[in-house]
Chains A and B, each alone.
Chain A
């Protein structure tokens, strides 16, 4: 008895405690919160809103929520991969805006193919450079991507004559077809999320990602291509952000220059609320989808009931939500900590 207590005490000190029933319960609770938490809250909030908020349960309203978030949700999709790998990408908001400006410029100067290719290639390249700086030069992801945020913003300002020129997509351009209607944006997002889920769960790349996020050292020792995988993750994030900006430009029919500020924060919030651990190694695309929808529904409700505060109220709610979720995750996963 006393010996057991002694062993437990030592193990507690060294962080090598044997798994107890309490730990297992906690582990299960963590897994449940992580995997189902955001979906459950989403269902509850939607049901409550349907009952209590007049005008919410309406197909037109649902449609506008979905369309309004179809493109920005792609930033969260890319961010999911980045965060699972243990990194962070703060540049996506700026890259989103840059993608839009490049697309509109391309549509005006070279037609639809250039409008699609230019943002995808440029933003993918920018993401790749960030990835290389993070993996090859071993710089902290948040500092590289903060610099990337600044760089992309500066680049698009330089392109648009300090933001005073807004490139318009020519009215007859085939490029506009990409952003038309209600269903096309929604289906685009659904298709990309499905592809993302398959990539994450059914490919070698996805499995390597989980391993790297769990322990980069262990992944290296296992012989996984750590540097390549991580570089690809940032390339993918840049690609998705630029692509989302491109599609958004097709919808808006122009390259709006002051768009995208703070979008990276919403994307991160959606990913974390969706149950992806910011420490990396665990997360899901489906969780991110429900995180995005949850924030979108809350924003919609705030727009109806607290419209005098506008987006600042949703910022407040986002921040509070994020804090609560992170606190919950950390408290539940604390078994392994030393002190």
Chain B
């Protein structure tokens, strides 16, 4: 897709932009780690890295689903509300044991994905509106299910999922590694992955070529819903509380940022799974860096806003044409 410029300089610049889009996020992570370590050697300690991972993993999990949705030229704004739904369902079903409660939460996420994906795939509603309706409605539903006050979730299994470590690395980070591998395999090595990017490239052409457009779209939104619900489980486990009124707020923004920073264009047709994971880690590193230097959260928000716009601007270059 690179333009065939005759001038060597032009070609080099194209290649440079492309490389920056594809690998810029990894370079940025290395630079940030180096700077932080130089300023405060403590930053690279296992303890600190573990704390950062606990924060980054839920966003990463949500971002994986979001990357698939964005790959189909869609968007899923409902993920934050799905986290709230998962948080509301867990205490309701905890009486049946931890794993049934987790299963119900995941089923809740899948159901939300079915509704959103159904609207997108079958009724052909624009993804942004379909998931916006879910975003508004589901948080209301979650708060109704749970009540306005947070409920404690004192379960060793769910708590362990959110708090325990194995070989010094959070259990949830191990799970995230597995999820990244699975999603990467799905995108790169399966028919489903091919179909997904083809639909993102050109939905009409894919439909005319006989691809199962509706089924793939539906599946993608269901996956996104389930992953968001799983992130909700992790957040409840880590916090020890279920607080649907406040859990998952702005997660859709963080997830979209992670995806875009990782080099997946919003225009669809391409999914970068490892980049997405790196994008989530990068955004967490930014937050950690700012916190370490006592930058107030208000400035941190503004910096984040600027990074988002810059990342989308950088990613736009190639995909927009």
Write out the residue numbers on chain B whose beta carbons fall within 8 Å of the beta carbon of A153. Answer: 298, 301
Write out the residue numbers on chain B whose beta carbons fall within 8 Å of the beta carbon of A326. Answer: 119, 125, 129-130, 133
Contact A155-B125, Cβ < 8 Å, known A147-B308, A312-B143: no
Q: Which residue on chain B has the smallest CB distance to residue A338?
A: B204
**In the assembled complex, how far is the CB of residue B60 from the closest CB belonging to chain A, in whole angstroms?**
19
| Distance between Cα atoms of A149 and B204 in the complex (Å) | 34
For residue B38, CB closer than 8 A to chain A, the reply is no
Write out the residue numbers on chain A whose beta carbons fall within 8 Å of the beta carbon of B125. Answer: 326-327, 330
Contact A138-B132, Cβ < 8 Å, known A158-B299, A310-B148: no
| Distance between Cα atoms of A308 and B300 in the complex (Å) | 36
For residue B313, CB closer than 8 A to chain A, the reply is yes
Write out the residue numbers on chain A whose beta carbons fall within 8 Å of the beta carbon of B37. Answer: none
B221-250 interface mask toward A, CB cutoff 8 Å, 1 = contact, 0 = none? 000000000000000000000000100001
Write out the residue numbers on chain A whose beta carbons fall within 8 Å of the beta carbon of B126. Answer: 278-279
**In the assembled complex, how far is the CB of residue B119 from the closest CB belonging to chain A, in whole angstroms?**
7
For residue A59, CB closer than 8 A to chain B, the reply is no
Q: Is the CB of A144 within 8 A of B309?
A: yes
Q: Which residue on chain B has the smallest CB distance to residue A150?
A: B305
Task: List the one stretch of A111-119, A198-206, A229-237, A314-322 in contact with chain B.
Answer: A314-322
Q: Is the CB of B312 within 8 A of A143?
A: yes
Interface size on B, residues (CB 8 A): 50
| Distance between Cα atoms of A143 and B308 in the complex (Å) | 8
For residue A218, CB closer than 8 A to chain B, the reply is no
| Distance between Cα atoms of A310 and B245 in the complex (Å) | 12
For residue A265, CB closer than 8 A to chain B, the reply is yes
Q: Is the CB of A313 within 8 A of B298?
A: no
Q: Pick the residue among A140, A272, A312, A322 that contacts B312 (CB under 8 A).
A: A140
Task: List the one stretch of B40-48, B134-142, B170-178 in contact with chain A.
Answer: B134-142
| Distance between Cα atoms of A323 and B135 in the complex (Å) | 11
Contact A318-B140, Cβ < 8 Å, known A139-B309, A157-B297: yes
Contact A150-B302, Cβ < 8 Å, known A143-B266, A157-B297: yes
| Distance between Cα atoms of A268 and B298 in the complex (Å) | 26
Write out the residue numbers on chain B whose beta carbons fall within 8 Å of the beta carbon of A149. Answer: 253
| Distance between Cα atoms of A272 and B306 in the complex (Å) | 30
Q: Is the CB of B302 within 8 A of A158?
A: yes
Q: Is the CB of A154 within 8 A of B301?
A: yes
**Main secondary structure on chain A at its contact with chain B?**
helix
| Distance between Cα atoms of A201 and B72 in the complex (Å) | 37
| Distance between Cα atoms of A85 and B205 in the complex (Å) | 27
Q: Which residue on chain A has the smallest CB distance to residue B208?
A: A339
**In the assembled complex, how far is the CB of residue A101 from the closest CB belonging to chain B, in whole angstroms?**
12
Q: Is the CB of B123 within 8 A of A327?
A: yes
Q: Is the CB of B301 within 8 A of A157?
A: yes
Write out the residue numbers on chain B whose beta carbons fall within 8 Å of the beta carbon of A320. Answer: 133, 137
Write out the residue numbers on chain A whose beta carbons fall within 8 Å of the beta carbon of B253. Answer: 146, 149-150
A272-287 interface mask toward B, CB cutoff 8 Å, 1 = contact, 0 = none? 1000001100000000
**In the assembled complex, how far is the CB of residue B17 from the closest CB belonging to chain A, in whole angstroms?**
15
Write out the residue numbers on chain A whose beta carbons fall within 8 Å of the beta carbon of B213. Answer: 339
For residue B293, CB closer than 8 A to chain A, the reply is no
Most buried by A among B133, B134, B135, B256: B133
Q: Which residue on chain B has the smallest CB distance to residue A268?
A: B132
Contact A154-B300, Cβ < 8 Å, known A138-B316, A138-B320, A265-B132: yes
Q: Pick the residue among B128, B204, B256, B305 that contacts A154 (CB under 8 A).
A: B305
For residue B110, CB closer than 8 A to chain A, the reply is no
Write out the residue numbers on chain A whose beta carbons fall within 8 Å of the beta carbon of B123. Answer: 327, 330-331
For residue A133, CB closer than 8 A to chain B, the reply is yes
Q: Which residue on chain B has the smallest CB distance to residue A141?
A: B128
**In the assembled complex, how far is the CB of residue A102 from the closest CB belonging to chain B, in whole angstroms?**
15
Q: Is the CB of B144 within 8 A of A309?
A: yes
Q: Pick the residue among B130, B137, B260 that contacts A318 (CB under 8 A).
A: B137
| Distance between Cα atoms of A312 and B125 in the complex (Å) | 25
Which B190-230 residues have a C-beta within 8 angstroms of A?
Answer: 203-204, 207-208, 213
Q: Is the CB of B136 within 8 A of A318?
A: yes
**In the assembled complex, how far is the CB of residue B152 from the closest CB belonging to chain A, in whole angstroms?**
20
| Distance between Cα atoms of A272 and B253 in the complex (Å) | 22
Q: Which residue on chain A has the smallest CB distance to residue B266?
A: A140
A77-91 interface mask toward B, CB cutoff 8 Å, 1 = contact, 0 = none? 000000000001000
For residue B75, CB closer than 8 A to chain A, the reply is yes
For residue A137, CB closer than 8 A to chain B, the reply is yes
| Distance between Cα atoms of A269 and B135 in the complex (Å) | 12
Q: Which residue on chain A has the smallest CB distance to residue B307?
A: A147
For residue B304, CB closer than 8 A to chain A, the reply is yes
| Distance between Cα atoms of A262 and B135 in the complex (Å) | 10
Write out the residue numbers on chain B whose beta carbons fall within 8 Å of the beta carbon of A330. Answer: 123-125
For residue A148, CB closer than 8 A to chain B, the reply is yes
**In the assembled complex, how far is the CB of residue B169 from the closest CB belonging to chain A, in whole angstroms?**
30
Q: Is the CB of B302 within 8 A of A338?
A: no
Write out the residue numbers on chain A whose beta carbons fall within 8 Å of the beta carbon of B138. Answer: 319
Write out the residue numbers on chain A whose beta carbons fall within 8 Å of the beta carbon of B139. Answer: 312, 315
| Distance between Cα atoms of A313 and B141 in the complex (Å) | 7
Write out the residue numbers on chain B whose beta carbons fall within 8 Å of the beta carbon of A156. Answer: 298
For residue B296, CB closer than 8 A to chain A, the reply is yes
Q: Is the CB of B305 within 8 A of A148?
A: yes
Q: Is the CB of B140 within 8 A of A314?
A: yes
Q: Pick the residue among B119, B132, B140 that contacts A316 (CB under 8 A).
A: B140
| Distance between Cα atoms of A198 and B304 in the complex (Å) | 39
Q: Which residue on chain A has the smallest CB distance to residue B253?
A: A146
Which A12-28 residues have a C-beta within 8 angstroms of B?
Answer: 13
| Distance between Cα atoms of A171 and B157 in the complex (Å) | 56
List 5 A–B pairs whose Cβ atoms lie within 8 Å, in order of A's numbering. A158-B298, A265-B136, A309-B144, A323-B133, A330-B124
**The 7 nearest A-B residue pairs measured at CB:** A319-B137, A315-B140, A154-B301, A157-B298, A312-B143, A316-B140, A339-B207
What would 14 more interface pairs be, CB under 8 Å, given A148-B305, A279-B126, A331-B123?
A: A139-B313, A140-B312, A142-B128, A143-B260, A143-B266, A143-B308, A154-B297, A156-B298, A265-B135, A268-B132, A316-B141, A319-B136, A326-B130, A330-B123
